[in-house]
Amino acid sequence: MTLDLTVDELLTSTRSVRKRLDFDRPVPREVLMECLDLALQAPTGSNAQGWQFLFVEDPAKKKALADIYRATGTPYLDMPAPVRGDMRDAQMDSVLSSAKYLNENLEKTPVFLIPCLEGRPDGAPAGMQASYWGSLIPAVWSFMLALRSRGLGSGCVQQSGVRVGPDQRYRRVVAG
């Protein structure tokens, strides 16, 4: 089922949902695949499409991944909030509160989508790194928009301050 939203309504109402995620609402595999099919239409650098997407639904794997995330996510979220001198400062308490809530409840989400890209941009010039990540981010955003158009919320979390590649814990958890 899709919502009757204009493009403008879809774009202005899609947020990273944290406190309002419905942990008890199952997400059918067919809906995930529809949304992924739409996300794969996103542009990529050099039309390479060197991405892969992993869906994690197993509760034990989600818990293990959430614990790894929390190992650096919690200290990051406990750092003093930056002061920017603009409207973002007024929103920071709310943003941090919702981010901490998701950090504490991450494994309860029905499905994790882990977007992956071939290779690593370590040491590459800034422009090449921007192209590398710029090949993935549009697909992730398209996936979030597709979910929203179907009445589903999503959140986007990143691992702050760590180099995930050398950390084999993620791969071991997903591989089982």
What number is the average pLDDT over the span 28-56? 89
| Cβ atoms 158, 170 nearer than 8 A | no
Record the tokens describing residue 156, joined without a space. 């986007």
What is the Cβ-side half-sphere exposure of residue 80, based on CA atoms within 13 angstroms?
A: 3
Higher pLDDT, 8 or 163: 8
What's the pLDDT at 121? 83
The percent of residues above 90 in pLDDT, for the chain, comes to 36
What are the start-end ranges of the H helices in 59-150?
A: 59-77, 88-105, 126-134, 137-149
What's the pLDDT at 10? 80
CA distance readout (Å), 40 to 60, 126, 136, 139: 28, 25, 10, 6
What's the pLDDT at 166? 41
pTM of the complete model: 0.83
Report the Cα 28 to chain-centroid distance in Å: 19
> What's the whole-number average pLDDT of the chain?
85
Q: How far apart are CA 170 and CA 176, in angstroms?
A: 10
Is 155 a residue whose pLDDT tops 90? no
Higher pLDDT, 38 or 161: 38
What's the pLDDT at 146? 93
Q: How far apart are CA 149 and CA 141, in angstroms?
A: 12
**Amino acid making up residue 147:** L
What number is the average pLDDT over the span 102-118? 91
What's the pLDDT at 159? 65
